[in-house]
């Protein structure tokens, strides 16, 4: 069995090198990156319905289970794509997987660079999150992958600085949180990573930030004070060039007394939960993320019972998620 799993992972990584990394290695502009990802159809799980919507004036796509209520909570899911590419549709494998696990998921179609540079995307996410929070229908979580994972952490910092209520928890897959691209793994894992290319990341960073400082915490949250953030779960593969981003994010969050769950998977490609249809490791990561969010909601119940305060979601809704009634 171990031999079969190793062979499957090897073949998946080999295909990614041929289909994605080879293309990204030749990309000179953000538009080249967009073109490189064209033609990859969204892979959506069964038992999930997708429909267009808008939250806080931000258009996007909802994913919800076809049968049974999405009573665990709502996830604001931020898709990756290097800040310049992809959409909610391209990430249906993840948003649909969360919906199949009992969540209602809204993936905003936030503005992309280079047409819209920082802080356009972050402003869109803040508007969408605040609108979801004001609905107060159920617990709210945030999640994202790659550049979307970095935007998730930037969003948490922005909400904290604005003294806005935080989501109950956040889960990020292969987060890009250092747009200065200074991590050692950018060099050490340069050839081991089957997807990402350091030079491409640096080009994309310039397209996104314009003339801003790449070490601005709202651009690269790894350089910020992470005090006051909600429980944070971080997934990364040990061969990724973004391995250091994830590890440094975890260290800085723990130093700020944030609850952190760092999970490092061996030999997994960048943002592998998007391949959950063929990789059991992708399904496991999504299972773990769903469990992390549920557990964080239950801990929020306990905290609210000890020290009753206004919550971003009614207690009854969270208790319903606990009991399944």
91 an active-site residue?
A: no
Residue tagged active-site, from 240, 281, 296, 312: 240
Residue 242 phi/psi, 5-degree rounding, is: -95, 10
Our count of domains for the chain comes to: 1
Q: Give the CATH number, domain containing residue 167.
A: 3.40.50.1820
Residue tagged active-site, from 270, 274, 281, 296: 270
Residue 251: is it exposed, middle or buried by C-beta count within 10 angstroms (0-12/13-18/19+)?
Answer: middle
* CA 83 – CA 220 distance, rounded (Å): 13
The encoded tokens of residue 262 equal 């760092």
pLDDT of 309: 59
Residue span of the structural domain in which 65 resides:
2-323
Residue tagged active-site, from 83, 87, 104, 146: 146
* CA 54 – CA 131 distance, rounded (Å): 10
Residue 261 phi/psi, 5-degree rounding, is: -120, 105
59 an active-site residue?
A: no
pLDDT in tens, 179-228: 999 999 999 999 999 999 999 999 999 999 999 999 999 999 999 999 99
pTM across the whole model: 0.92
Closest by CA position to 279, among listed 267, 289, 261: 267
pLDDT in tens, 43-78: 888 899 999 999 999 999 999 999 877 778 999 999
- E-state strands within the chain: 48-55, 58-65, 73-78, 103-108, 140-145, 170-173, 232-237, 260-265
240 an active-site residue?
A: yes
């Amino acid at each position: 069995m171990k031999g079969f799993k190793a062979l499957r992972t090897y073949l998946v990584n080999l295909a990614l090198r041929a289909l994605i990394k080879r293309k990204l290695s030749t990309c000179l502009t953000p538009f080249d990156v967009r073109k490189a990802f064209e033609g990859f159809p969204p892979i959506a799980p069964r038992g999930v319905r997708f429909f267009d919507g808008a939250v806080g004036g931000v258009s996007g796509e909802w994913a919800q289970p076809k049968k049974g209520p999405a009573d665990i909570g709502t996830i604001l899911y931020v898709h990756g794509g290097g800040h310049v590419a992809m959409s909610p549709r391209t990430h249906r494998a993840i948003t649909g997987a969360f919906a199949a696990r009992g969540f209602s998921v809204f993936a905003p179609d936030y503005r992309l660079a280079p047409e819209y540079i920082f802080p356009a995307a972050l402003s869109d996410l803040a508007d969408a999150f605040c609108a979801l929070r004001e609905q107060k229908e159920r617990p709210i979580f945030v999640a994202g992958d790659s550049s979307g994972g970095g935007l998730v952490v930037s969003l948490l910092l922005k909400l904290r600085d604005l003294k806005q209520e935080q989501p109950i928890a956040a889960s990020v897959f292969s987060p890009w949180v250092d747009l200065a691209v200074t991590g050692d793994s950018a060099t050490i894992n340069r050839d081991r990573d089957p997807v990402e290319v350091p030079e491409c990341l640096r080009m994309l960073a310039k397209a996104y930030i314009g003339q801003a400082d790449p070490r601005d915490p709202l651009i690269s949250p790894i350089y910020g004070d992470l005090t006051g953030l909600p429980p944070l779960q971080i997934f990364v593969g040990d061969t990724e060039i973004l391995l250091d981003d994830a590890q440094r994010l975890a260290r800085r969050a723990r130093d700020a007394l944030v609850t952190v769950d760092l999970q490092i998977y061996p030999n997994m490609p960048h943002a592998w939960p998007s391949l959950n249809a063929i990789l059991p490791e992708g399904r496991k990561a999504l299972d773990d993320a769903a469990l992390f969010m549920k557990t964080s909601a239950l801990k929020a119940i306990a905290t609210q019972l000890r020290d009753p305060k206004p919550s971003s979601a009614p207690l009854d809704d969270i208790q319903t998620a606990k009991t399944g009634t």
